Structure 1
Amino acid sequence: KSQTAATLLPAVSFFLMHEKKAPARKLIEEGAIVALATDFNPGSSMTESMLFVLQLAVFTMKMSIEEAINAATANAAYALAKHEEVGSLEVGKKMDVVLWDVPNYPTLVYHLGINPLQFVIKNGKIVARDGNLVIQERKA
């Protein structure tokens, strides 16, 4: 069994208007490690929105919400060989987390066209609030 992660880019198929999508469902059913990414690239996927990628993964690639969230977090960290330090909320790991203002996690995927971002926390510090960057004062 391979320990290689298949990193899928659902926004690429969307951006290029391809009907054929990566076989996420088949890969998952065969036990593959599936990660999701934006491929932020002006030629094939001009989006940096991981929320949009989650939505596309669920609606166009037949992933469950839980599979898509796992693929965008823990499995993405694994694909980058960073899973020992990031990718999940565990004691001893760096605290990188996005907090959304939604009543439950399925709303992230099913409520399209909004940005419910409340906070972005990077290395334990708030770096964005309500969609705006938070300016950190530098120590002299």
Structure 2
Amino acid sequence: MKTTLSEIQLIKIPVVEDFRGNLGFVQNGFLPFDFKRVYYLFDVPSNSFRGGHSHINQQETLIALSGSFEVVLHDGFEKKSFLLNKPNVGLYIPTGIWRELQNFSSGSVCLVLAQDVFDEADYIRDFDEFLKSKK
């Protein structure tokens, strides 16, 4: 499958606003996929990066619950960056897209909603191998 950056979506997360504080929610049926795994990244040093891989079959949505970070996406031909810094915006990443997360602000938390449970066989962790898979 030849996934391109044109399939990336910024998704507005539903929010219930209240003077006591806002409540954002995501439930099955809202995203372009049903999710089976939820995980989050936190305490990432500002000079570190996460990701550095692509998925063969799995789709994900990333949300900056707190703070900010940059998501650099590559489809094998072109590259695009997204700054995530609002807890009511998710970044949908379909299969076949290389991702790197960087420039984490202090106290940032990245929530990931993943289509499936962890499976190492679904990862491409070498960028050259990723580029070969896109040809």
**TM-score, normalising length from structure 1?**
0.26
Q: Which has the larger radius of gyration?
A: 1
More contact order relative to length (CA 8 Å, sep ≥ 6) = 2
Give the strand-richer structure, 1 or 2. Answer: 2
Q: TM-score, structure 2 length as denominator?
A: 0.27
